[in-house]
Amino acid sequence: MKKVTGVKHILSSLVAMSVLGSAAAWAAEDPYRGSYFGARAGYSYNDNSCDSSAIKCDKEEEAYGLFYGYDFSRYVALELSANDIGDTRATYPGDLRLRGDLFASDLSVKFSKPISERTRLYAKFGAAYWRAELLGGPTKLKDSGYRPLAGVGVEFPLSDRLAGRFEYQYIDKVGNNDIGYADPHYVGLALVWNFSSRAARPAPEPVARVEPTPQPVAEPPRETRIVVDENRHGPLFAFDKSEVANTASIDPVVDMLKKGPELRVHVIGHTDSVGSDTYNQGLSERRAQAVARYLERNGIANNRITVSGKGESEPVADNSTNDGRAQNRRVEFVITGVKVVVQ
């Protein structure tokens, strides 16, 4: 027999459920995220609800309930439920007939494991608030409290929004010494209505890829090397001097740089091996700088010119002969330019 008091408890619990629903009203891209509502019905077996002196004990009773939850993903949900667990009827010596009514509301976390696109095994754990009444004795006894709850089940689709459940739930040791104890075991079916469709959403239309505009790619600098040495062009400098004496051999370089304003020139001075390394290094640098000054006087901007000296470190001929030393006393012009191409 169902109780009116149980229905009142269920309705009051649904008021609390609506608070959870308002927090979960926003939509999301995940089709498995959203709120749901359900109703369950089955049987409850209230184990250990009669003591050993009972002549007759009826522990099985129909049970029903309502629940509301929110799926955060396919794997985790939070669920609130209100349940009439049924009653236990017992007859004791002296024709004492007792009836215990049991109601519970619970909050649990539900963990799911998908076994197909929409079928999921699940386990849930939480706490149940129970309320029990013992009727039929000299006085009416009642009590309430909190106990741990656990459950397992399987949820399967019936449509895009409707799903079914087969579930088992257990609450550990409700009651007290005055009204007695019970270990409610519930087995039943449930219908679940999802407020958003759980059907897989179509994949978005592919976005046409826009190829980037080709960017100019710089070719490696093209390099031209011009060597002016005393053996072929005559002395550029007076002996042991760093001022340019023979400019005729440099003028072709000036003409090339004037015709190609994108060109850059690096002037490198070299000496033979007569004298110390340190002296020759300084002499080669001074001569390279003197050539650079000549280029500037002839209209080549100084930001297009760099200089260095190598001293006697990079001979191109044998310093033991006059001809060899003449070849080594040289100035090199390394002319570079960059050509821009589009790939």
Q: What is the mean pLDDT of the chain?
A: 79
Here the tokens at position 334 are: 């390394």
Inform me whether the pLDDT recorded for 318 exceeds 70.
Answer: yes
Query: 225-243, pLDDT tens digit by residue?
Result: 777 766 666 677 766 677 7
Q: What kind and span of H or E run contains 287?
A: helix 277-297
Inform me whether the pLDDT recorded for 222 exceeds 90.
Answer: no
| Residues 188/40, Cβ–Cβ less than 8 Å | yes
Report the share of the chain in percent with pLDDT over 90. 29
What is the distance between the alpha carbons of residues 44 and 246, in angstroms, rounded to a whole number?
116
Q: Using pLDDT thresholds of 50, 70 and 90, give the confidence band for residue 261.
A: confident
- End-to-end Cα distance, the chain: 86
Residue 187 burial by CB count (10 A; 0-12/13-18/19+): exposed, middle or buried?
middle
Q: Using pLDDT thresholds of 50, 70 and 90, give the confidence band for residue 3.
A: very low
- Long-range CB pairs of 245-254 (<8 Å, 24+ gap) are 247/294, 250/291, 250/294, 250/295, 250/331, 251/298, 252/226, 253/226, 253/295, 253/333, 253/335, 254/295, 254/298, 254/299, 254/300
What is the distance between the alpha carbons of residues 165 and 156, in angstroms, rounded to a whole number?
6
Query: 265-292, pLDDT tens digit by residue?
Result: 899 998 888 888 898 899 889 988 999 9
The number of beta carbons lying within 10 Å of the beta carbon of residue 257 is: 21
Q: Using pLDDT thresholds of 50, 70 and 90, give the confidence band for residue 256.
A: confident
Domains of the chain: 4-194 (2.40.160.20), 216-342 (3.30.1330.60)
Half-sphere exposure in the Cβ direction for 283 (13 Å, CA): 21
What is the distance between the alpha carbons of residues 146 and 127, in angstroms, rounded to a whole number?
7
The pLDDT, as a whole number, for residue 52 is 66
